[in-house]
Structure 1
Amino acid sequence: MTRPAQRSGGSRASADRLARLLNLVPYLLARPGIAVAEAAADLGVTERQLREDLELLWVCGLPGYGPGDLIDMAFDGDRVTITYDAGIDRPLRLTPDEALALVVALRMLVETPGIANRDAVERALAKIESAAGEHAGAPVAVRLPGDGDRVEALRGAVGRRRALRITYYTAARDETTERTVDPIRVSMVSGHAYLEAWCRRAESVRMFRADRIDDLVELDEPAAPPPQAQLHDLSAGIFSPSADLPLVTLRVGRSARWITEYYPCERVEPDPGAGAGSGREWLVSLRVTDLDWARRFVLGLGPEVTVVSPPELAEEVRDQAAAALDAYAEPAGGTTSR
């Protein structure tokens, strides 16, 4: 009975700390050499909490996260001075457009089925609406992404506990299959609606993205997930890397480093072959669902990414890139333009 309250309290504490950290750097910039005790009193926290915040700030900064990218500070006894602010030189203030965008996003989040910590979202929404004033009441149209009718049909099947026959497109394998599933729940993750169901074909729980379900028929039989059906932990997103999935290592240039923020990576480090201090290329290792997906992923990233391992992925990428170039070559017979 106490776990939801503990989780909600943890979310509130994290939100409060984030707000404090965003304002801490400009506060210290305006008061170079301020005593830690004085700063703690001004901010309404203990000295211990403030020192923990300062330790966290030391590892925050700009993408690259190397020397010259991270927030830096100097201590003189019990006094602290910010020596590099990483661009956080003003207290956090929202423009009317930014406040309205947050209000719309939070209103949508509140209406999302299966969202965790709804009370924390509602509290954040109330605070931003209060701060935004009249701008929060501007007329806007809010619509969840995806096929609304399809999502409602899936929710209905879950509520009625009915099995479904679906025609589903699997993007990772670029194939369409027909399956009979026992629906368990519908969730919104990263802006997409998913049906979580026991797949009788795979004999395990699967996640089906609603906009990739080409057709569905509600069957005249009850949904009956077996006792061993376990729901996925969606707190970190849909994809959960595991040791049994293929491990891919890529050499990544500066403009493609964003993938380390977007995809879960097992290892990110400077490429030792790029030369000391160059900092231009990273070696990035991540798990993938299968090598076909990895091939399309790498090709889509362009010349800023090359495959280090596994060798078969490098060969597939090289062959498909060569085939694409051949498609642009002049036909063997040649043509004459007019």
Structure 2
Amino acid sequence: MTGPRQSADRLGRLLNLVPYLLARPGILVAEAAADLGVSERQLREDLELLWVCGLPGYGPGDLIDMALDGDRVTISHDAGIDRPLRLTQDEALALVVALRMLAETPGTGHRDVIERALAKIENAAGDLADAPVAVRLPANAKRVDKVRAAVESGHALRMTYYTAARDETTDRVVDPMRVLMVGGKAYLEAWCRRAEATRLFRIDRIDDFTELAEPSRPPAGAEPHDLTGGVFHPTPDLPLVTLRVGRRSRWITEYYPVEEVHRSGGDEWIVTMRVTDLGWAQRLLLGLGPDVTVLGPPELLTRIREQATAALDQYSTPGR
């Protein structure tokens, strides 16, 4: 598939390819392709195009020249394209903000490396680095620091934790593994002795904790979570909820992972989503009001109907 977006991507790649190869004479084509995030076939096509690019005149000494010896490539004449493209203003600002946030995030390792990278980007960005952009960390930063210090001590923790999915508070002993930030929220990842599994605990939902004298000893099979796609990973064994959603509540399709969305007619959408717990779904949907209609599963319909009826009875009973 070709088009303006693909052409712009290729132009940017070609302009960066020459200085990249100049700095790595004799590099393997396969290694360069992996570094640049393209297939080996695409890189060879780019190299063939570079052979006919250069300065006006397009004669000997004007065109880019290279030696492609089997699986290795070396630039022998760069035609003046010896420096990579500079960041755009938006790209530079995005990097500055991201690095500032990372530098201030509790528990982040290699802070010196982050600060050196930030200094280089700010120097390259010039006045743009002083743009009035506020970097705000979670309000519970002090609590995050306390939990991180407890984790670094290497001891088990006894804690009181609120589980939003079941709307309950429990006491449990955990063997901490790490503190991490996902989606702007801080989590403690630990082996939970109560659940006998690795769990993620949102630090703002830890009501209280005590550091125990015994060391933290997660079992050998305690694997850290894969968080590349976020904290919640819907699986086929989880309950499937089907909703009819009006215009005002379409935001839930962006805020929560959904399986399918299709139009029902007019402004309404039919939305299906996996949930960890029907109790959590019940509380969420009761709060959304009449703009959302639950179509299934039957158990969720029954639970919502019973809770709504009980609430109405409270209003109709004299003296309450």
Give the equivalent residue in structure 2 for 1:232. 225
Q: Within 5 Å, give how 1:209-224 maps onto structure 2.
A: 209-224=202-217
**TM-score normalised by the chain length of structure 2:** 0.64
Letter of the 1:163 partner, please give it.
A
Give the equivalent residue in structure 1 for 2:270. 283
Quick one: structure 1 residues 124 and 270, their matched pair in 2 at CA, closer, same or farther if it must change by over 3 Å?
farther
Aligned equivalents of 2:144, 2:282: Cα separation in 1: 31
Letter of the 1:262 partner, please give it.
Y
C-alpha contact (below 8 Å) 1:146/1:192 kept by paired residues: no
Give the superposed CA RMSD.
3.9
Aligned equivalents of 1:242, 1:145: Cα separation in 2: 29
Aligned equivalents of 1:259, 1:243: Cα separation in 2: 20
Give the equivalent residue in structure 2 for 1:270. 263
Classify the secondary structure of the residue corresponding to 2:221.
coil
Aligned equivalents of 1:186, 1:220: Cα separation in 2: 20
Question: Aligned pair count?
Answer: 245
C-alpha contact (below 8 Å) 2:99/2:114 kept by paired residues: no
Of 269, 272, 280, the residue aligned with 1:293 is 280
In the alignment, structure 2 segments of 5+ residues that lack a partner are 15-37, 43-87
Aligned equivalents of 1:120, 1:43: Cα separation in 2: 30
Q: Does 1:181 align with 2:169?
A: no
Give the equivalent residue in structure 1 for 2:200. 207
Give the equivalent residue in structure 2 for 1:108. 101
| Larger Rg computed on CA atoms | 2
Query: 1:169 Cα deviation (Å)?
Result: 1.0
In the alignment, structure 1 segments of 5+ residues that lack a partner are 1-20, 26-35, 53-91
Aligned equivalents of 1:184, 1:288: Cα separation in 2: 26
C-alpha contact (below 8 Å) 2:160/2:208 kept by paired residues: yes
Quick one: structure 1 residues 138 and 281, their matched pair in 2 at CA, closer, same or farther if it must change by over 3 Å?
closer
Query: 1:100 Cα deviation (Å)?
Result: 7.0
Give the equivalent residue in structure 1 for 2:252. 259
Aligned equivalents of 1:281, 1:292: Cα separation in 2: 25
Query: 1:183 Cα deviation (Å)?
Result: 0.2
Aligned equivalents of 2:181, 2:286: Cα separation in 1: 29
C-alpha contact (below 8 Å) 1:250/1:309 kept by paired residues: yes
Letter of the 2:164 partner, please give it.
A
Classify the secondary structure of the residue corresponding to 2:146.
helix
Aligned equivalents of 2:9, 2:214: Cα separation in 1: 65
**TM-score normalised by the chain length of structure 1:** 0.61
Q: Does 1:156 align with 2:182?
A: no
Give the equivalent residue in structure 2 for 1:17. none
Aligned equivalents of 1:266, 1:185: Cα separation in 2: 31
Aligned equivalents of 2:209, 2:9: Cα separation in 1: 61
Of 152, 163, 173, the residue aligned with 1:170 is 163
Classify the secondary structure of the residue corresponding to 1:299.
helix
Classify the secondary structure of the residue corresponding to 2:166.
coil
C-alpha contact (below 8 Å) 1:254/1:281 kept by paired residues: yes
Aligned equivalents of 2:9, 2:269: Cα separation in 1: 43
Query: 1:45 Cα deviation (Å)?
Result: 5.4
Give the equivalent residue in structure 1 for 2:303. 316
Quick one: structure 1 residues 126 and 259, their matched pair in 2 at CA, closer, same or farther if it must change by over 3 Å?
farther
Give the equivalent residue in structure 1 for 2:54. none
Classify the secondary structure of the residue corresponding to 2:218.
coil
Q: Within 5 Å, give how 1:238-257 maps onto structure 2.
A: 238-257=231-250
Query: 1:110 Cα deviation (Å)?
Result: 4.1
C-alpha contact (below 8 Å) 1:103/1:129 kept by paired residues: no
